């Protein structure tokens, strides 16, 4: 949807509140709203926050272009579509990762830890972020798809966002989804669950997707743009 000169991805879902987000690095705007929110109400919300939206977009334009990761303080990383800066804190305590209220990812490591190990710690933290969200999504979607996922796993995949074993009702999700906007995780999960109904990407498959997740094409484009 276009509001003034701003392209807004409107994501209607079973929530009570409206949530407006501006994603880096290109300043895309996403608004999640309750299912039956009118387009008029969407436009009102966006216009009321237009100053804030433009400020966030200007902030992203000023950020330096991404470079090859060195896992040092000041690098830009992503968490569910939000641009976050890495802060490496060296010490002698327990190695762990935390997220501050300032959207800084704080990587607590022992002195001398290599960049490879730092990246492994970050990936494990990403895995935990996904694991914290997937059960609620499954609880919501299993009765709607009318299929039960027996097992699910997270792993790094080079060419796919997700895959499934139809005979065992088993799903794998790409670890990289922890970096993408949250609706991308939901979309891929639903996509793989629909394969439990229909193996192939045929007319029946897309009919199920249109019925269950009417805005899935918008999210698919969002995922491809990331």
pLDDT in tens, the chain (226 residues): 888 888 888 888 777 778 888 877 778 888 888 888 899 999 999 999 999 999 888 887 877 665 567 899 999 899 998 889 999 999 988 999 999 988 899 999 999 899 999 999 999 999 999 999 999 999 999 999 999 999 999 999 988 899 999 999 999 999 999 999 999 999 999 999 999 999 888 999 999 999 999 989 888 888 876 5
**pLDDT tens track for 195-213:** 999 988 899 999 999 999 9
pLDDT digits (tens, 9 = 90+) for 97-116: 999 988 899 999 999 899 99
The span from the CA of 93 to the CA of 111, in Å, is: 10
The pLDDT, as a whole number, for residue 66 is 58
Question: How many other C-beta atoms are found inside a 10 Å radius of the C-beta of residue 149?
Answer: 19
Two structure tokens written together for 87: 């802060």
Query: Hunting for tokens 């999210």 — which residue is that?
Result: 219
212, two tokens: 């269950």
CB atoms inside a 10 Å sphere around CB 167: 7
- 141: Cα within 13 Å, side-chain hemisphere: 24
Tokens at residue 54, please?
Answer: 């433009």
Q: Which domains does the chain have, with CATH numbers?
A: 2-62 (no CATH), 76-124 (no CATH), 125-225 (3.30.2010.10)
CA distance 109 to 193: 38
The pTM assigned to this predicted structure is 0.73
Cβ contacts of 206-210, under 8 Å, gap ≥ 24: 208/145
Residue 27 region, left (φ>0) first, then alpha (ψ -120 to 50), else beta?
left
Q: What pLDDT shows up at residue 175?
A: 97
Sheet holding 170-174, edge to edge: 151-155, 170-174, 162-165
């Amino acid at each position: 949807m276009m509001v003034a000169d701003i392209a807004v991805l409107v994501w209607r879902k079973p929530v009570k509140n409206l949530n407006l987000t501006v994603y880096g690095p290109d300043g895309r705007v996403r608004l999640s709203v309750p299912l039956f929110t009118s387009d008029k109400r969407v436009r009102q919300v966006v216009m009321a926050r237009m100053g804030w939206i433009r400020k966030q977009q200007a902030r992203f334009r000023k950020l330096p272009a991404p470079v090859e990761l060195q896992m040092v303080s000041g690098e830009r990383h992503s968490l569910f579509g939000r641009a976050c800066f890495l802060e490496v804190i060296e010490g002698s305590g327990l190695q762990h990762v935390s997220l501050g209220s300032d959207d800084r990812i704080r990587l607590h490591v022992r002195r001398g830890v290599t960049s490879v190990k730092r990246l492994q710690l970050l990936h494990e933290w990403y895995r935990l972020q996904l694991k914290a969200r997937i059960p609620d999504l499954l609880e919501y979607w299993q009765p709607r798809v009318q299929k039960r996922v027996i097992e699910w796993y997270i792993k790094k995949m080079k060419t796919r966002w997700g895959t499934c074993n139809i005979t065992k009702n088993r799903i794998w999700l790409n670890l990289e989804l922890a970096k993408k906007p949250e609706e991308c995780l939901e979309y891929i999960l639903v996509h793989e669950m629909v394969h439990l109904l229909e193996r192939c990407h045929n007319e029946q498959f897309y009919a199920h997707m249109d019925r269950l997740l009417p805005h899935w094409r918008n999210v698919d484009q969002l995922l491809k743009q990331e």
